[in-house]
Structure 1
Amino acid sequence: MPPKINNSVAWQQAELLMQPAFIRVVDNIRKHLDVSPWTGTYHDVLVWPAGTTEETKAIVTELLQEMETATPDRGDVIREYLARMPMPHPGYHLRLQRQGQEVSIDLWELCYQICFLNYTPEQEVADIDTSLIDERGEVDWLRLEAKTKETVGEVFANLSA
């Protein structure tokens, strides 16, 4: 799940950094895959809040599908019900494969590791890594690239050989 951001300045900084970080992550992954025995494919996924049961996921998914063809009155009832249910957010994963092994990597989680200080998925609130923003309030591309290269390099270094 995305970390919570607790003020408008941090929110603007996150908006500034996330897209460039994502682009750098994908480019650095490509560079590693070019020289790696692993092959990778990208996949859109739904990321559910922790603790969401399979039954709840099925109900929400069914209701979302029903919404597409529901009458306006039925749509209102469904929306009201869904407002009280856990909702997934879109995710983007890299599925790495090699000799029967498969590893899935959440690309947004990698971006969070880059854009936030000492980020872990368990954190409720995260602080922006302001060293990635220069004195003019713009992305410091050299620092962003260095941190991205290090983070993606660690992912590939931790894959079983």
Structure 2
Amino acid sequence: MQPKFKTRKAWNQAEMLLQPAFIRVVDNFRAQLEDSPWTGEYEDIQDPYPGYILRLKKDTIETTVNIWDLCYQICFVAYPTGALVENGCAVEIDETLFEASGAVDWQKLEAKTQQLIHNMFEQFDHLGG
């Protein structure tokens, strides 16, 4: 789902966060895959909107991850929620990812990304029993 923004400030904050979040997601997946029985392959997608997915495989188990959806989960509060999906409500930027000066807090961005990727791999490991 493409996010919608309430204000121009939220749009600007998203612009500041999304590219670094994307880079952190890809790098953290790379690091996790190095020490994992899972293998991964990136693929461009065009439908329903342009983006990237990561196809993960371990033995006979396969799953896909939408990279931009992960970035949205990092950058926005409670993404996606039922209200967002059903009503097309605007997303809320995770303000904790910014320093008081308005700059991106790189350590918090990295920590949130690492935690999300770590949790995903824990869930993936339970897929195979």
TM over 0.5: yes
Identity level (%):
47
The DSSP-based 3-state class of the residue aligned with 1:13 is helix
Equivalent positions of 1:7-156 (< 5 A) are 7-48=7-48, 89-120=49-80, 122=82, 123=84, 124=88, 125-156=90-121
The count of residues paired between Structure 1 and Structure 2 equals 121
Task: Show CA shifts across 1:125-149 (max 9, x none).
Answer: 2100011011121110010011000
In structure 2, stretches of 5+ residues that fail to align are none
In structure 1, stretches of 5+ residues that fail to align are 49-88
Amino acid at match of 2:106: W
After TM superposition, what 4+ stretches of structure 1 lie above 4 angstroms from structure 2?
A: none
Amino acid at match of 1:23: I
Considering Cα pairs closer than 8 Å and 6+ residues apart, tell me whether 1 or 2 has the greater RCO: 1
Cα distance between partner residues in 1 of 2:40 and 2:30: 9
Please report the RMSD computed on the Cα atoms of aligned residues, expressed in angstroms. Answer: 1.1
Amino acid at match of 2:60: G
Displacement of 1:121 after TM fit?
A: 6.0
The DSSP-based 3-state class of the residue aligned with 2:100 is coil
Question: 34-43 vs 120-129, which deviates more?
Answer: 120-129
Larger Rg: 1
The DSSP-based 3-state class of the residue aligned with 1:128 is coil
TM-score normalised to structure 2 length:
0.89
Cα distance between partner residues in 1 of 2:51 and 2:72: 13
Task: Show CA shifts across 1:4-58 (max 9, x none).
Answer: 112100000000000000000011101110011000000001232xxxxxxxxxx
CA contact (8 A) 1:33 1:39 kept: yes
